[in-house]
Each structure stands twice: as structure tokens, then as C-alpha cells.
Structure 1
Amino acid sequence: MTIIRIVYAGVLDLRTDEAYYWTWSKELQLCFLDHPPMIAWFIRLGTALFDDTNLGVRFAGILAMAASQFLIADIVRRVTHDARAVVLAVLLPEAALYYGLLMAKVAPDTAAIPFALAMVWSLVRTAENEDGRWWLAAGLFGGLALLSKFTVVMLLPGVAAFLLVPAWRSRWLASPYPWCGALIALAVFSPVLIWNAQHDWASFRFQFVRAIAPREFSFRTLGDYIGLQFGQVGFVLLPVALCALTLTAWRGYRTREPVAILLSTAVLVPFLYFLWKSLTLRIGDTWPMFMWPIAFAAVAINVVKLRQDGWPTSMIRSTVRWARVAVVTGIAMVVLIFLYYVAAPWNFLGRADPIGSEAGYQQVAARVEQELAKTGATWIATSDYRTYAMMRWFFRGRVPVIQVNERARFMGFRDPGMNLIAEHPGLYVVREPDNTGRLWTDTTARREPLGNVQRSWRGTVMDSYALERLTGWTPDLSPPPDSPLYQWRWLAGELDATPRA
């Protein structure tokens, strides 16, 4: 399965968000508008080893998967002392599409998952021997998880329940260790706080606006969320995990067992929160992914605990059987999907294909290169971060690429080459029909249409892009905050609440 992930990472073209995070790795920033900086540092490590290649960008995901499996296995080993449960714990992530294959697709979750698991592992060590020093390790890993993705803050209810519900709460509340652990987490997270203090708390406001923006009730977004969990976790594994979590929560809160409380609360709280938000908001495909590895540990532990708690033999056999079915069917599905994307020539899903919908940018880049040579343009302009990221990926610094709007995304970025931009013609690359918007109304730019180019995958046209020659204007890389070229679209009210696939 690791070989499969390595082949997948090396063969498939980068998706747009992956290329976007790769552009971050070229900057020395404490934080970014969209996310904390850890994913940029992960990519920088991979590209230092394997250069700016698909595998280099995605290498951190391969390491993160291995580290995550080790942590899940050791959590289960320490709780159960059962070798079969440990084997199950290692196999369960392989049976989930997101982890068994798509962990090779780099995202902020790639970094958040192993650090979140390491925090849970440290707390399990605390419960194992009641050594308060493990609170310090939990604070370190919790801070690193927050430095990877903001949504891991939803693990805090699980940590709070672990601290407050068991009989030891008075002891730990009076101990300096949990409080020192919290200070360590805050110190590790401080780069994000420093950057935001310098930039009007931009990334916090960005996330806050996304979370509270008013939207209408929709069964469609609810169905999308539930369907996404089935698809990425597994049609059998998802109900197996939810059943195990329910039993774990019942056992933990009934007997005040610390680890059971921690595991169940750390997953069920964010799962139910996302379920509630999905009534009005489309939940992104990676948003809940930090929590399911904790659920896999709960599944393996639950198999052993059922025996220890004296549950009926039929219940135990059924639980074991469904866990095995989840592993076998899940791994088979992961392998089939790998073969479909790596070896098959077909496109069964048309434009809805989640991988194909972001493929084919090399066709756009090739046409852009031709037009640069024909028109004498010295730089590329775009108006969405996806096209910006892919053009930067394919041109690798040979030509300056500028996203002329949403300049808040690029606060603190280095000079992209203004000597090649100022008073020079540019080439505007824009996904149709976005070229008909109001972006250029208040500028002096003159636009000369040059035609369009289509982006296709396995015979299906995914998008069409207009190409235009720009003259008479130099982009302002640092417009004032009230400028329409500065604001990100969430703040400007121009972005639909539904993210693209």
C-alpha cells in the first residue's frame, strides 16, 4: 500500500490546491491567509529531497501516513496489549480511501493528522502511568497540530473531557503540568498569532467569515457531507467506526474511563458539529479528516473491550466480522481507485470526476507559452488562485505570475519580478466566463482578446480559458485593504458558499 501511494504521488498531476501550497513553500512566512504554515514547511522538506517534482511536493504525505499508522498502533497496543487489535489498527487506515490513497495528496491535514494523533498518544501515555510530564508532550504536539490546521481546535472538548470527567480531575487541576502543556501549545502556535497581529488578524477573520456567513437550509449540503464521509472513510468502515465510537462513549462516560472519553469525544464532537454545519454549508472534502484516525484506534480497542466487558458472544463475533469486512472491502476499493486513476483510460464521471476536474493544466500552460512568445508579453496575470498556482507550477519562475485580485492572499510575499512587469505587456489567463466580471472596471488596462484554450481529461472538456493581452497597466501588489483588488472574495461577498471540487 505504501508503494501504491508513492506511485500515485509521483504519477498524477498536482491538483490546484497542492500547487497553491507549493507556492507557499517558496515564501518565508509565519502564516498565510488560508491556513497556518506547517504544510508549506512540509512541502519545503519534500522538495529539498526530491526537487520540485510531484513526489517532492507530496513526499510529506507518505511520511505522515507511516507516522499516523505507528501512533494508532501504539495507542491500541498500550490500551489493549492485544497483537490482533494492533494489526487491525494498522489496516483500518489502509481501508479508508482518504488515508490509504489520498494521504499522498498534500493538504494541511497531511501535517495536522500525525500531530493530532501524537497529542492523543501523549494523553494515552498520561492515562497509562499518570506521569504529568506527558501533558507537556501533549501541549507540544497540540501546538504543532494547530500550526497545521485551525480546525483541530475541535479536539479541545475531548481533551477537556479527558481532564475533567474522570476521578482524577482535582489532582490534574491542581497540577502545573496541564497548564504548562497549554502554555507550550500557545508558544508553539505563536507564529500564527504574531503574523495575524501584524496583518489585522486576517486569517482568523477569513475563517470566521466563512463559518458564520448566513446561508439557507439545504438537504443537498447535508447529503453531500454524509456521502463524502462514506466515500472517503468507507461504506462499511464508516458505520463500523460510528458504532464503535458510540459504544466507546457509553463505556467511557459510564465508568469514567479516561482514554475512552478522550477517543470518543475527540471524534463525535467535530463529527456532529460538521453534521450541523452541513445543513447550511457544503463541508470541504478535507475538513473532517483529522478526526477519523482517532476513530480507527477506537474501533480496534472496542473489539477487545467488548470481550473484557462480557458482551454476548454473538455481538463480539458480529463486531469482528464487520471490522474484517471493512478492511477487505476498503483496501480492495482503494486499489481499484488507484488503478482507475493510474492505469485506466476511461472517464466514468465526466466533469464531476474529482481528480479529472483539476487535470489538464499542462494544455493551458503550453498555449500560454506560445502566446507569450507571439505577443511579447513578459508576465502572466490571473484572477483566481487555482490558475495562479498552476501557472506558477508549470513555469517554475521563468515568467512572473500574478493574481491581480485577492491580494490579501499574498501578504508578505517576495517581489515576483516587477522589473519584468512594470510597463511591460502581460498575458491574462482566465477561466470562462469569469472574464466578463467587473475586475477591470476601475483600471487603465487595455485588453486584447487572443482566443481561448480548453483543458480536458480523458476526452472530456473540463474548462475553457480565455487569453487576453494586457497593456497600459501595472498591477498594484499591495493595494489598500478597502480596494476590491485586495479583499478575498468571502469578505467581498462575491464567492459562493460552495467550494469547487
Structure 2
Amino acid sequence: MTIMRMVYAAALDLRTDEAYYWTWSKELQLCFLDHPPMISWFVRLGTALFGDTNLGVRFAGIVAMAATQVLLADIVRRVTHNVQAVILAVLLPEAALYYGLLMAKVAPDVAAIPFAVAMMWALVRLAESNDGRWWLAAGMFGGLALLSKFTVVMLLPAVAAFLLVPSWRGRLLFSPYPWLGAVIALIVFSPVLIWNVQHDWASFRFQFVRATAPHDFSLRTLGDYIGLQFGQVGFVLLPVTLTALTLTAWRSYRAREPVGTLLSTAVLVPFLYFLWKSLTLRIGDTWPMFMWPIGFAAVAINIVKLREDGAPAWFIRSTLRWARIAVVSGIAMVVLIFLYYVAAPWNFLGRTDPIGAEAGYEQVAERLEQELKTTGATWIATSDYRTYAMMRWFFRGRVPVIQINERARFIGFRDPGMNLIADHAGLYVVRDPDNTAPLLAGTTARREPLGSVERSWRGRVMDSYTFGKLTGWTPELSPPAESPLYQWRWLAGDPDATPYA
């Protein structure tokens, strides 16, 4: 399965967000508007080993998957001392599409997952050894998880339950180690705090507005959230995991057992929170993905605990049977989807295909290359971060590429090559639905239409783009905060803007 993920990583073109994070890896900022910096460091590591290639950008995700499985195996081994349970814990993530295949792609969650599981592992070691110094390791891993993605803050209720529910709560509360662990977490997380202090808390405000923006009640977004969990975790594995977590929570809270309390709370609280938010907000595809591996550990542990608790034999057999079905059917589905994207020539989903919807940007880049030679333009402009990232990926620094709006995304970025932009003609490329946006209306830019190009995948047109030649204007890299060219789309009041994952 690891070899399969490596083939997938090397064979498929980067998606737009992956190229976006690759651009981050060239900047080495302490933080970015959208996310903390860890994913950019992951990409930097992979490209240092394999160059600016598909595999290089994605390599750290493959390592993260292996590290996650090792940690899950050791958690289950220490709790159950059962080899079959350990094997099940290793196989369960392979049976979930997101982990079995899509960990071989770049997203902040890929960085957050191993660190979040490592924090759980450190706390399990604490429960096993009764050595308070494991709080220090938990703090370090928790800080690294926060340095990867802000949503892992939702693991804090689990840590609080682990501290307060068992009978040791009085002793631990007066121990220095939990508080030292919290200090270590803040120190590790400090690059994000420093960057935000320097930039008016930009990334925190970005996330806060996304989370609190008013939306109408919608059963569609609820259905999207539930459907995504079934699709990315598994149609059998998701109910198996939720059932195991419910049984674990019921058993552990009644007995005040620390590990079961920790694992069940770490998944059920974020799951229910996202379920509630999905009534009014579209939950991003990857937002809940940091929590499910912890649930897989609970599945393996629950089977052993049922035997120890003397559960009815038929119930234990049924639980084990469904876990096996989840593994076999899930891995089969992961392999089939791998073959569909790597080896098959068909497009069954049309424009809704999640991979095909972001494929074919090389066709746009080829047309831009031709227009650069024909018009004598020396730089490329766009108004969409996805197009910006893909053009930077394909041109690899040979031509300056700039997104003229949402400049808050690029705080602290290096000079893209203003000596080739100022007083030179540029090419402006924009998706057709956005072609009428009045971004250039308040500038001195003159725009000469040059035509259009279609982006297609497996014989199906996925999108079309319009080209124009820009003259008489030099874009401002650092416009004032009140400028519509500085603000990101939600803050600018764009009613059609969608939450960026």
C-alpha cells in the first residue's frame, strides 16, 4: 500500500492547493494567512530530497502515514498486549480512502495527523507508566500539531477529560508537569503567535471570520458533511468506528478509565461539533481528518475490551466480523480508486470529479507560453490563488507570476521579480465566470483581449479561461489593508466566495 501511494504521488499532477503549499515552501515564513507553517516545511523537506517534482512535494505525506501507523500500533499494543488488535490498528487506516491513498497529497492535515496521534501516544504512555514527565512530550507534540493546523485545538476537551475524569485528577492538577507541558506547547507554537503579533492577528482573524460568518440553515451542507465522512473514511468503517467510540466512551466514563476517555473524547467531540456546524456551514473536505486515526485505535482496543468485560459471544463475533468487512471492503475500494486515477482512461464523474476538476492546467500554461512569445509580455497576472499557484508551479520562476488581489495571502513573500513587471506588459488570465469582476476598474491598467483556452481532463472540458494583455499599470504588492486588492474574498464581501480548505 505504501508503494501504491508513492506511485500515486509521482504519477498524478499536483492539485491547486498542493501547488499553493509548494509556493509557501519557497518563502519560509513563520506563518501564513490560511494556515500555520508546518506543511510548507514538510514540502521543503520532500523537495530537498527529490526536487520540485510531484513525488518531492508529496513525499512527506507518505512518511506521515507510516509514522501514524507505527504510533497507532504502539498505542494499541500498550493498551491490549494483543497482536491481532495491533494488526487491525495498522490495517484500518489503509481501508479508509483519505489515509490509504490521499495521505499521498499535500494538505495541512497531512502534517497535523502524525503529531496529533503522537500527542495521544504520549498520554497513553503517561497512563501506562504513571510518569508525569510524559506531559512534556505531549506538550511538544501538541504544539507541533497546532503548528500544522488550528483545528487540532479541538483535541483540548479530550486532554481535559483525561486530566479531570480519572481518580488521579487531584494529584495531577497539583503536579507541575501538565502545566509545563502547556508551556512547551505554547513555546513550540510561538512562531505563529509572533507572526500574528507582527501582522495584526491576520491568520486568527481569517479563521475566526470563516467560522463565525452567518449562514442560513441548510440540509445540503449537513448531507455534504455526512457524505464526505462516509466517502473518505468508509461506508462500513465509519459506522464501525462510531460504534466503537460510543461503546468506549460509555465504558470509560463510567469506570473513569483514562485511555478510553481520552480516545473517545478526542473523536466524538470534534465529530459532533462539525456535525452541528454543518447545519449552516460547508465543512471542508479535510477539516475532520486529524481525528479519525485516533478512532481507529479505539476500534481495535474495543474488541479486546469487550472480551475482557465478558460481553456476549455473539456480540463480540459480530463486532469482529464487521471490522474485518471494513478492512477488506475498504482496501478493495482504495485499490480500485487508485487504479481508476492512475491506469484508467475514463471520466465517470464528469466535471464533478475531484481530481479531474483540478487537472489540465498544463494546457493553460502552454497557451500562456505562446502568448508570452507573441506579445512580448514579461509577467503573468491572475485574480485566483489556484491559477496563481498552478502557473508558478509550471513556470518554476522563469516568468514572474502574481495574484493581483487578495494580497493578504502573500504577506512577507519575496519580490516575484518587479524588475520584469514594472513598466512592462503582462498577461492577465482569469476563469470565464470571474472575467467580469471589476478588479481592474479602479486602476490605470489597459486590457487587450487575446482569446481563451479550455482546460480538459480525459476528454471532458473542466473549465475555460480568458486571456488579455495588460499595459499601463504596475500591480502593488503591498496595498493598504482597506484596499479591495488586499482583502481576501470573504472580508471583501464577495457573496460567492467559498471557504478555502
Q: Are the counterparts in 2 of residues 378 and 425 from structure 1 also a CA contact under 8 Å? A: yes
C-alpha deviation, 1:498, in angstroms = 3.8
Q: Secondary structure at the match of 2:99?
A: helix
C-alpha deviation, 1:493, in angstroms = 1.5
Paired with 2:338 and 2:487, the residues of 1 have a C-alpha distance of 39
The corresponding residue for 1:353 is 353
Residue identity opposite 1:492 in structure 2: A
C-alpha deviation, 1:357, in angstroms = 0.1
Q: Are the counterparts in 2 of residues 282 and 497 from structure 1 also a CA contact under 8 Å? A: no
Residue identity opposite 2:353 in structure 1: D
**Pair 11,116 (structure 1): closer, same or farther in 2 beyond 3 Å:** same
C-alpha deviation, 1:365, in angstroms = 0.3
Q: Secondary structure at the match of 1:380?
A: strand
The corresponding residue for 1:266 is 266
C-alpha deviation, 1:496, in angstroms = 3.3
Residue identity opposite 2:247 in structure 1: L
The corresponding residue for 1:136 is 136
Q: Are the counterparts in 1 of residues 29 and 37 from structure 2 also a CA contact under 8 Å? A: yes
Q: Are the counterparts in 2 of residues 281 and 498 from structure 1 also a CA contact under 8 Å? A: no
Matched, 1:203 2:193: no
The corresponding residue for 1:113 is 113
C-alpha deviation, 1:28, in angstroms = 2.0
C-alpha deviation, 1:435, in angstroms = 1.3
Q: Which runs of 4+ in 1 moved over 4 A?
A: none
Aligned CA-pair RMSD: 0.8
The corresponding residue for 1:372 is 372
The corresponding residue for 1:91 is 91
**Pair 293,210 (structure 1): closer, same or farther in 2 beyond 3 Å:** same
The corresponding residue for 1:173 is 173
Deviations 1:47-95 (A, max 9, x none): 0000000000000010000000000000000000000000000000000
Residue identity opposite 1:489 in structure 2: R
Q: Are the counterparts in 1 of residues 210 and 499 from structure 2 also a CA contact under 8 Å? A: no
Q: Secondary structure at the match of 1:366?
A: helix
Deviations 1:176-224 (A, max 9, x none): 0000000000000000000000000000000000000000000000000
C-alpha deviation, 1:499, in angstroms = 4.4
Q: Secondary structure at the match of 2:279?
A: coil
Matched, 1:454 2:458: no
Matched, 1:145 2:136: no
TM (norm. structure 1) is 0.99
Q: Secondary structure at the match of 1:319?
A: helix
Residue identity opposite 1:246 in structure 2: T
Q: Secondary structure at the match of 1:266?
A: helix
The corresponding residue for 2:41 is 41
Q: Are the counterparts in 1 of residues 42 and 111 from structure 2 also a CA contact under 8 Å? A: yes
Paired with 1:491 and 1:245, the residues of 2 have a C-alpha distance of 38
Q: Are the counterparts in 2 of residues 112 and 149 from structure 1 also a CA contact under 8 Å? A: yes
Paired with 2:495 and 2:126, the residues of 1 have a C-alpha distance of 45
The corresponding residue for 1:19 is 19
TM (norm. structure 2) is 0.99
Paired with 2:440 and 2:287, the residues of 1 have a C-alpha distance of 34
Paired with 2:499 and 2:327, the residues of 1 have a C-alpha distance of 31
Q: Secondary structure at the match of 2:496?
A: coil
Residue identity over aligned pairs, in percent, reads: 84
Paired with 2:421 and 2:347, the residues of 1 have a C-alpha distance of 40
The corresponding residue for 2:103 is 103
Paired with 1:28 and 1:69, the residues of 2 have a C-alpha distance of 29
Paired with 1:65 and 1:323, the residues of 2 have a C-alpha distance of 21
After superposition, residues 313-352 of structure 1 pair within 5 angstroms as 313-352=313-352
Residue identity opposite 2:29 in structure 1: Q
Paired with 1:440 and 1:139, the residues of 2 have a C-alpha distance of 48
C-alpha deviation, 1:153, in angstroms = 0.2
Paired with 2:339 and 2:123, the residues of 1 have a C-alpha distance of 39
The corresponding residue for 2:487 is 487
Q: Are the counterparts in 1 of residues 489 and 497 from structure 2 also a CA contact under 8 Å? A: no
Q: Are the counterparts in 1 of residues 139 and 183 from structure 2 also a CA contact under 8 Å? A: yes
**Pair 497,251 (structure 1): closer, same or farther in 2 beyond 3 Å:** farther
Residue identity opposite 2:416 in structure 1: P
Paired with 2:310 and 2:86, the residues of 1 have a C-alpha distance of 21
The corresponding residue for 1:155 is 155
Q: Secondary structure at the match of 1:450?
A: strand
Q: Are the counterparts in 1 of residues 423 and 474 from structure 2 also a CA contact under 8 Å? A: yes
The corresponding residue for 1:235 is 235
The corresponding residue for 1:223 is 223
**Pair 38,500 (structure 1): closer, same or farther in 2 beyond 3 Å:** closer
Paired with 2:263 and 2:212, the residues of 1 have a C-alpha distance of 28
Paired with 2:299 and 2:322, the residues of 1 have a C-alpha distance of 11
Paired with 1:95 and 1:199, the residues of 2 have a C-alpha distance of 42
Q: Secondary structure at the match of 1:136?
A: helix
Q: Are the counterparts in 2 of residues 29 and 37 from structure 1 also a CA contact under 8 Å? A: yes
Paired with 1:500 and 1:286, the residues of 2 have a C-alpha distance of 11
Residue identity opposite 1:210 in structure 2: R
Q: Are the counterparts in 1 of residues 216 and 280 from structure 2 also a CA contact under 8 Å? A: yes
Q: Are the counterparts in 2 of residues 281 and 497 from structure 1 also a CA contact under 8 Å? A: no
Matched, 1:253 2:253: yes
C-alpha deviation, 1:495, in angstroms = 5.1
Aligned length: 501
The corresponding residue for 1:284 is 284
Deviations 1:262-294 (A, max 9, x none): 000000000000000100111111000000000
Paired with 1:39 and 1:240, the residues of 2 have a C-alpha distance of 31
Paired with 2:296 and 2:219, the residues of 1 have a C-alpha distance of 28
For structure 1, which runs of at least 5 residues remain unmatched after alignment?
A: none
The corresponding residue for 2:439 is 439
For structure 2, which runs of at least 5 residues remain unmatched after alignment?
A: none
Residue identity opposite 1:187 in structure 2: I
Paired with 1:491 and 1:206, the residues of 2 have a C-alpha distance of 8
The corresponding residue for 2:75 is 75
Residue identity opposite 2:329 in structure 1: T
Matched, 1:61 2:61: yes
Matched, 1:401 2:411: no
